[in-house]
Structures are given as structure tokens and as C-alpha cells.
């Protein structure tokens, strides 16, 4: 009679360093989740609530399209992943530094929608898009870091 060792192995110890593959999967999930959150926020604001997301663009105005929301959220997620990787290479305290740095970047990103929107409802909807990405991305990427 043989015993399958995969079934009888002890569970991983708490605080164990996650494998690189697991970290990548968690971080990719965070990026995709943030992208989905932004896209969902756009759907709730524009087609369902009937908001017109129009921003100042150069000398004219431009409507915020779903493709722009999707690509911007995806780009922001990948940039956040890269920033976290840089913090991890810079020193052992990336887990502590990440929330402060990420919230700071999110706060700076809110300057765009709060100044580019045509009216206050548009500004608040655009800020909501930014916040929806941050609310998903910051804690999800934080969970993927090594405990110090």
C-alpha cells in the first residue's frame, strides 16, 4: 500500500515566503481586479446612471471612453506592480513602505480628475474611477509582499 505524499504533507508554515509564481499570480490578479473595478465603475456611471464623462483636453473636450478607462487602469496596475518590485529590491521594508507610497501616488493622481472635469458630478465620477483602482490595487499588492 502506498501513501500519496502530496496529500500527507503538512501545510505551509505561517509567514513563509511565497514562491515567485504565486507572487506573480497574486499581482496579476490584483492588476486585473483593479482594471475590472475601473471598468465596472465606468459602466455604473455612464450607461447605467447616464453620466457624461467629458474632460478638458487641450483646447477642447473629450469624452472618457471605456477603452481609455480599461487601458489606463491596466497601465496604472502594471506601474504599481513595477513600483512595488523596485521597493522590494531597494530594501527589506517594502511591505511597510508600500501602503504609504501607494496612497501618496493615488492622492496625486486625484489632481487630474478634480481639475479636468467639466462639472462637479463629472469630477467626482472621475475621482471614483481612480479610487476604485486604488482600493483594489493597494491592499491586493500589499498582500503579495513578504512579511518583514
Tell me the longest C-alpha to C-alpha distance in the chain: 78
Cα(140)–Cα(120) distance, integer angstroms: 30
Q: Quote the pLDDT of residue 110.
A: 94
Q: Quote the pLDDT of residue 137.
A: 97
Q: Quote the pLDDT of residue 54.
A: 86
Q: Quote the pLDDT of residue 56.
A: 83
Q: Quote the pLDDT of residue 10.
A: 44
Q: Quote the pLDDT of residue 9.
A: 46
**pLDDT average per 10 residues of sequence, the chain (148 residues):** 48 61 95 97 92 85 93 97 95 92 96 83 92 97 84
pTM of the model: 0.82
Q: Quote the pLDDT of residue 18.
A: 67
Amino acid at each position: 500500500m502506498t501513501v500519496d505524499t502530496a496529500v500527507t504533507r503538512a501545510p505551509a508554515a505561517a509567514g513563509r515566503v511565497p514562491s515567485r509564481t504565486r507572487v506573480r499570480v497574486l499581482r496579476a490578479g490584483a492588476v486585473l481586479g483593479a482594471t475590472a473595478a475601473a471598468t465596472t465603475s465606468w459602466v455604473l456611471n455612464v450607461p447605467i446612471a447616464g453620466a457624461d464623462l467629458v474632460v478638458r483636453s487641450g483646447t477642447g473636450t473629450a469624452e472618457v471612453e471605456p477603452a481609455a478607462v480599461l487601458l489606463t487602469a491596466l497601465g496604472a496596475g502594471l506601474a504599481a506592480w513595477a513600483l512595488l518590485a523596485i521597493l522590494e529590491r531597494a530594501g527589506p521594508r517594502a511591505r511597510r513602505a508600500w501602503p504609504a507610497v501607494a496612497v501618496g501616488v493615488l492622492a496625486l493622481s486625484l489632481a487630474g480628475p478634480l481639475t479636468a472635469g467639466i462639472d462637479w458630478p463629472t469630477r467626482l465620477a472621475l475621482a471614483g474611477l481612480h479610487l476604485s483602482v486604488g482600493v483594489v490595487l493597494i491592499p491586493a499588492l500589499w498582500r503579495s509582499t513578504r512579511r518583514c
